[in-house]
Amino acid sequence: MSTALADRLADVDARIADAARSAGRDLSGITRIVVTKFHPVSLVRELRALGVRDVGENRQQELTAKRDELADVVDLHWHFIGQAQTNKARAVRAAADVVHSVDRPRIADALDAAGSGDPLDVLLQVNLTDDAGRGGVAPRDVEALATHVAGLSTLRVRGVMAVAPLDEEPARAFERLRGSADAVRTVVPDATWISAGMTGDFPEAVAMGATHLRIGSAITGPRPVRG
Protein backbone atom coordinates (compact mmCIF):
# COMPACT_ATOMS: atom_id res chain seq x y z
CA MET A 1 0.00 0.00 0.00
CA SER A 2 1.24 3.48 -0.84
CA THR A 3 2.45 5.42 2.19
CA ALA A 4 2.11 8.62 0.16
CA LEU A 5 -1.58 7.89 -0.48
CA ALA A 6 -2.20 7.29 3.22
CA ASP A 7 -0.37 10.51 4.08
CA ARG A 8 -2.35 12.58 1.57
CA LEU A 9 -5.64 11.15 2.81
CA ALA A 10 -4.71 11.86 6.43
CA ASP A 11 -3.65 15.41 5.53
CA VAL A 12 -6.93 16.18 3.74
CA ASP A 13 -8.96 14.67 6.56
CA ALA A 14 -7.07 16.83 9.07
CA ARG A 15 -7.78 19.92 6.97
CA ILE A 16 -11.48 19.00 6.77
CA ALA A 17 -11.55 18.60 10.55
CA ASP A 18 -9.86 22.00 10.98
CA ALA A 19 -12.38 23.64 8.63
CA ALA A 20 -15.29 22.04 10.48
CA ARG A 21 -13.91 23.19 13.81
CA SER A 22 -13.44 26.75 12.52
CA ALA A 23 -17.02 26.78 11.26
CA GLY A 24 -18.40 25.37 14.50
CA ARG A 25 -19.67 22.30 12.68
CA ASP A 26 -19.86 18.64 13.66
CA LEU A 27 -17.45 16.64 11.51
CA SER A 28 -19.94 13.75 11.38
CA GLY A 29 -22.14 15.91 9.14
CA ILE A 30 -19.50 16.04 6.39
CA THR A 31 -18.91 13.24 3.85
CA ARG A 32 -15.57 13.15 2.05
CA ILE A 33 -15.90 11.71 -1.46
CA VAL A 34 -12.63 10.67 -3.14
CA VAL A 35 -12.77 11.33 -6.89
CA THR A 36 -10.79 8.59 -8.66
CA LYS A 37 -11.17 9.77 -12.27
CA PHE A 38 -8.66 8.05 -14.60
CA HIS A 39 -7.05 6.15 -11.71
CA PRO A 40 -6.94 2.34 -11.74
CA VAL A 41 -9.17 0.04 -9.73
CA SER A 42 -6.14 -0.87 -7.63
CA LEU A 43 -6.15 2.65 -6.19
CA VAL A 44 -9.81 2.30 -5.19
CA ARG A 45 -8.93 -0.92 -3.36
CA GLU A 46 -6.10 0.88 -1.54
CA LEU A 47 -8.45 3.70 -0.58
CA ARG A 48 -10.98 1.24 0.79
CA ALA A 49 -8.26 -0.41 2.88
CA LEU A 50 -7.58 3.07 4.30
CA GLY A 51 -11.20 3.44 5.32
CA VAL A 52 -12.64 5.29 2.31
CA ARG A 53 -16.22 4.31 1.58
CA ASP A 54 -17.42 7.12 -0.74
CA VAL A 55 -15.95 7.23 -4.26
CA GLY A 56 -16.78 9.61 -7.10
CA GLU A 57 -16.52 9.26 -10.87
CA ASN A 58 -17.09 11.81 -13.66
CA ARG A 59 -17.63 9.47 -16.60
CA GLN A 60 -20.33 6.83 -16.90
CA GLN A 61 -18.11 4.32 -18.68
CA GLU A 62 -15.47 4.52 -15.98
CA LEU A 63 -18.02 4.34 -13.19
CA THR A 64 -19.62 1.25 -14.70
CA ALA A 65 -16.30 -0.49 -15.36
CA LYS A 66 -14.91 0.16 -11.89
CA ARG A 67 -18.08 -0.87 -10.10
CA ASP A 68 -18.23 -4.07 -12.15
CA GLU A 69 -14.59 -4.88 -11.41
CA LEU A 70 -15.16 -4.21 -7.71
CA ALA A 71 -18.35 -6.24 -7.50
CA ASP A 72 -16.81 -8.16 -4.60
CA VAL A 73 -16.61 -4.94 -2.56
CA VAL A 74 -20.10 -4.35 -1.19
CA ASP A 75 -19.49 -1.43 1.18
CA LEU A 76 -18.41 1.26 -1.29
CA HIS A 77 -20.83 4.10 -2.04
CA TRP A 78 -20.54 5.26 -5.66
CA HIS A 79 -21.23 8.91 -6.57
CA PHE A 80 -21.70 10.01 -10.19
CA ILE A 81 -20.55 13.62 -10.32
CA GLY A 82 -20.13 14.21 -14.06
CA GLN A 83 -22.49 15.77 -16.56
CA ALA A 84 -25.40 13.39 -17.00
CA GLN A 85 -26.67 12.52 -20.49
CA THR A 86 -30.13 11.15 -21.17
CA ASN A 87 -28.85 8.37 -23.45
CA LYS A 88 -26.66 7.08 -20.62
CA ALA A 89 -29.24 7.40 -17.87
CA ARG A 90 -29.89 3.67 -17.62
CA ALA A 91 -26.19 2.86 -17.26
CA VAL A 92 -25.70 5.66 -14.71
CA ARG A 93 -28.70 4.45 -12.75
CA ALA A 94 -27.35 0.90 -12.70
CA ALA A 95 -23.93 1.91 -11.38
CA ALA A 96 -24.47 4.95 -9.13
CA ASP A 97 -25.76 5.13 -5.58
CA VAL A 98 -26.00 8.92 -5.83
CA VAL A 99 -26.20 11.20 -8.88
CA HIS A 100 -24.96 14.74 -8.18
CA SER A 101 -25.73 16.28 -11.57
CA VAL A 102 -29.47 16.41 -12.23
CA ASP A 103 -29.90 19.81 -13.88
CA ARG A 104 -32.97 19.54 -16.11
CA PRO A 105 -36.28 17.71 -16.21
CA ARG A 106 -35.24 15.51 -19.16
CA ILE A 107 -32.35 13.86 -17.33
CA ALA A 108 -34.50 13.44 -14.24
CA ASP A 109 -37.21 11.78 -16.32
CA ALA A 110 -34.65 9.48 -17.98
CA LEU A 111 -33.19 8.40 -14.64
CA ASP A 112 -36.69 7.85 -13.28
CA ALA A 113 -37.72 5.74 -16.28
CA ALA A 114 -34.63 3.57 -15.80
CA GLY A 115 -35.45 2.84 -12.18
CA SER A 116 -37.20 0.20 -10.16
CA GLY A 117 -36.92 -0.84 -6.57
CA ASP A 118 -35.17 1.47 -4.14
CA PRO A 119 -35.25 5.19 -4.96
CA LEU A 120 -32.09 6.81 -6.33
CA ASP A 121 -30.60 9.67 -4.33
CA VAL A 122 -30.07 12.72 -6.54
CA LEU A 123 -28.79 16.26 -6.14
CA LEU A 124 -29.79 19.21 -8.28
CA GLN A 125 -26.78 20.78 -9.97
CA VAL A 126 -26.84 24.58 -9.85
CA ASN A 127 -24.95 26.76 -12.33
CA LEU A 128 -23.20 29.50 -10.32
CA THR A 129 -21.85 31.28 -13.42
CA ASP A 130 -23.39 33.61 -16.00
CA ASP A 131 -22.60 31.08 -18.76
CA ALA A 132 -25.86 29.33 -19.65
CA GLY A 133 -23.87 26.72 -21.57
CA ARG A 134 -22.34 25.28 -18.43
CA GLY A 135 -23.91 22.40 -16.59
CA GLY A 136 -26.46 23.23 -13.95
CA VAL A 137 -29.86 24.79 -13.54
CA ALA A 138 -30.05 28.57 -13.13
CA PRO A 139 -30.62 29.48 -9.47
CA ARG A 140 -33.91 31.15 -10.34
CA ASP A 141 -35.18 27.83 -11.74
CA VAL A 142 -33.98 25.46 -9.04
CA GLU A 143 -37.23 25.49 -7.10
CA ALA A 144 -39.22 24.52 -10.20
CA LEU A 145 -36.75 21.70 -10.94
CA ALA A 146 -37.03 20.48 -7.36
CA THR A 147 -40.80 20.39 -7.72
CA HIS A 148 -40.51 18.34 -10.92
CA VAL A 149 -38.00 15.85 -9.55
CA ALA A 150 -39.85 15.47 -6.26
CA GLY A 151 -42.83 14.28 -8.27
CA LEU A 152 -40.92 11.34 -9.77
CA SER A 153 -41.53 8.11 -7.91
CA THR A 154 -38.06 6.52 -8.18
CA LEU A 155 -35.89 9.57 -7.42
CA ARG A 156 -35.23 11.12 -4.01
CA VAL A 157 -34.09 14.75 -3.94
CA ARG A 158 -31.31 15.06 -1.38
CA GLY A 159 -30.12 18.61 -2.00
CA VAL A 160 -27.94 20.63 -4.35
CA MET A 161 -24.53 20.49 -5.98
CA ALA A 162 -22.30 23.08 -7.68
CA VAL A 163 -18.79 23.88 -8.82
CA ALA A 164 -17.41 27.28 -7.82
CA PRO A 165 -16.57 29.55 -10.78
CA LEU A 166 -12.86 30.09 -11.40
CA ASP A 167 -13.19 33.88 -11.50
CA GLU A 168 -14.92 34.36 -8.15
CA GLU A 169 -14.09 33.91 -4.50
CA PRO A 170 -15.32 30.40 -3.63
CA ALA A 171 -16.94 31.54 -0.39
CA ARG A 172 -19.18 34.00 -2.24
CA ALA A 173 -20.20 31.35 -4.77
CA PHE A 174 -20.95 28.79 -2.09
CA GLU A 175 -22.99 31.35 -0.19
CA ARG A 176 -25.20 31.66 -3.28
CA LEU A 177 -25.44 27.89 -3.45
CA ARG A 178 -26.67 27.90 0.12
CA GLY A 179 -29.49 30.17 -1.06
CA SER A 180 -30.40 27.58 -3.70
CA ALA A 181 -30.34 24.89 -1.02
CA ASP A 182 -32.82 26.94 1.00
CA ALA A 183 -35.08 27.22 -2.05
CA VAL A 184 -35.02 23.47 -2.61
CA ARG A 185 -35.97 22.85 1.01
CA THR A 186 -39.15 24.86 0.54
CA VAL A 187 -40.18 22.02 -1.78
CA VAL A 188 -38.41 19.07 -0.11
CA PRO A 189 -37.83 19.97 3.55
CA ASP A 190 -35.39 17.11 4.23
CA ALA A 191 -33.17 17.84 1.19
CA THR A 192 -30.26 18.89 3.40
CA TRP A 193 -27.25 17.82 1.34
CA ILE A 194 -24.94 20.42 -0.22
CA SER A 195 -22.30 18.91 -2.52
CA ALA A 196 -19.62 21.56 -2.92
CA GLY A 197 -15.90 21.95 -2.52
CA MET A 198 -13.03 20.29 -4.36
CA THR A 199 -9.27 20.11 -3.85
CA GLY A 200 -8.75 23.87 -4.14
CA ASP A 201 -11.71 25.21 -2.20
CA PHE A 202 -13.13 22.67 0.22
CA PRO A 203 -12.38 24.69 3.38
CA GLU A 204 -14.55 27.53 2.04
CA ALA A 205 -17.28 25.01 1.17
CA VAL A 206 -17.25 23.61 4.70
CA ALA A 207 -17.57 27.15 6.08
CA MET A 208 -20.66 27.67 3.92
CA GLY A 209 -22.38 24.47 4.98
CA ALA A 210 -21.25 21.83 2.49
CA THR A 211 -22.14 18.31 3.56
CA HIS A 212 -20.37 16.45 0.73
CA LEU A 213 -16.86 17.33 -0.51
CA ARG A 214 -15.59 16.01 -3.85
CA ILE A 215 -11.81 15.76 -3.51
CA GLY A 216 -9.51 14.24 -6.11
CA SER A 217 -5.84 15.04 -6.67
CA ALA A 218 -5.14 16.24 -3.12
CA ILE A 219 -5.74 12.62 -2.09
CA THR A 220 -5.10 10.53 -5.20
CA GLY A 221 -2.14 12.47 -6.54
CA PRO A 222 -1.86 13.57 -10.20
CA ARG A 223 -4.15 11.82 -12.64
CA PRO A 224 -2.43 9.27 -14.90
CA VAL A 225 -1.71 10.44 -18.43
CA ARG A 226 -4.20 8.85 -20.82
CA GLY A 227 -2.87 7.60 -24.09
Per-residue pLDDT of the chain (227 residues; tens, 9 = 90+): 689 999 999 999 999 999 999 999 999 999 999 999 999 999 999 999 999 999 999 999 999 999 999 999 999 999 999 998 999 999 999 999 999 999 999 999 999 999 888 999 999 999 999 888 888 999 999 999 999 999 999 999 999 999 999 889 999 999 999 999 999 999 999 999 999 999 999 999 999 999 999 999 999 998 887 65
Distances in whole angstroms, Cα of residue 164 to Cα of each of 23, 58, 129, 136, 150: 19, 17, 8, 12, 25
**32: containing domain:** 3-220
Residue 225, in any domain of the structure: no
Into how many domains does the chain fold?
Answer: 1
- pTM of the entire predicted model: 0.96
What does the alpha-carbon distance between residue 204 and residue 73 come to, in Å, rounded to a whole number? 33
Distance separating alpha carbons of residues 101 and 63, to the nearest angstrom? 14
Q: Note whether residue 130 is domain-resident.
A: yes
Q: CA distances (Å), 40 to each of 57, 95, 107, 164, 175, in order?
A: 12, 17, 28, 27, 35
- The answer as to whether 85 is a domain residue is yes
Has residue 226 been placed in a domain? no
DSSP structure string for 6-48: HHHHHHHHHHHHHHHHHTT--GGG-EEEEE-TT--HHHHHHHH
Q: Is residue 14 part of a domain?
A: yes
For residue 175, tell me if it sits in a domain.
Answer: yes
Residue 67 falls inside a structural domain: yes
**Half-sphere exposure in the Cβ direction for 82 (13 Å, CA):** 20
Cα–Cα dist 104/46, whole Å: 36
Sign of CA dihedral 144, 147, 152, 158: positive
Assign residue 141 the CATH number of its domain. Answer: 3.20.20.10
212 lies in a domain? yes
Rounded Cα distance between 130 and 53, Å, is 35
Biggest distance spanned by C-alpha atoms of the chain = 47
